[in-house]
């Protein structure tokens, strides 16, 4: 039996490296520096702060925030009040949540 586990992600994110957050904000789809890649991989593997995703509202036009279940077969929660007109904006929204969950620090508002 072959399974993957979110517990395997263990890279420690340096909360002072706001330059990496800025780099992500500038280009959520990359290309990214090796340092930023490690941050992103940690975030995406561990699901810290929530297994966030989006659900398409209108193809190619609008997406709503959603959260995948922590427990298998659990409910997918959708947040119709939080929508995005670009996937880059959605990436940044989730990056913010995860940064705070993993470092304990919220990213400055002015980074938006």
Peptide bond between residue 31 and the one before it cis (omega within 30 degrees of 0): yes
Interface with another protein in residues 69-98 (CB under 8 A): 69, 72-73, 75-76, 78, 87, 90-91, 94
Residue of 44, 60, 29 lying closest to 97 (CA atoms): 44
DSSP string over 33-50: -HHHHHHHHHHHHH-TT-
Q: Site size for another protein, by CB under 8 A?
A: 40
Q: How far is the CB of 12 from another protein (least distance, A)?
A: 17
CA dist., res. 5 & res. 39, Å (int) = 17
* The one among 22, 55, 79, 112 contacting another protein by CB under 8 A: 55
Q: How far apart are the first and last CA of the chain?
A: 43
* The one among 12, 41, 86, 106 contacting another protein by CB under 8 A: 41
Between 21 and 54, name the residue whose CB sits nearer to another protein: 54
Apex 19 CA angle, 62 and 102, nearest 5: 70
* The one among 22, 56, 85, 105 contacting another protein by CB under 8 A: 56
Q: Which residues bind another protein (CB under 8 A)?
A: 1-6, 28-32, 37, 41, 44-45, 47, 51-61, 63, 66, 68-69, 72-73, 75-76, 78, 87, 90-91, 94
């Amino acid at each position: 039996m072959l399974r993957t586990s979110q517990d395997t992600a263990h890279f420690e994110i340096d909360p002072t490296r706001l330059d990496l957050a800025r780099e992500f904000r500038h280009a959520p789809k990359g290309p990214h520096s090796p340092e930023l890649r490690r941050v992103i991989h940690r975030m995406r593997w561990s699901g810290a702060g929530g297994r966030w995703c989006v659900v398409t509202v209108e193809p190619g036009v609008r997406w709503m925030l959603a959260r995948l279940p922590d427990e298998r077969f659990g409910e997918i929660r959708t947040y119709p009040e939080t929508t995005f007109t670009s996937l880059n904006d959605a990436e940044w929204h989730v990056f913010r949540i995860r940064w705070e969950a993993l470092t304990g620090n919220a990213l400055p508002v002015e980074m938006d």
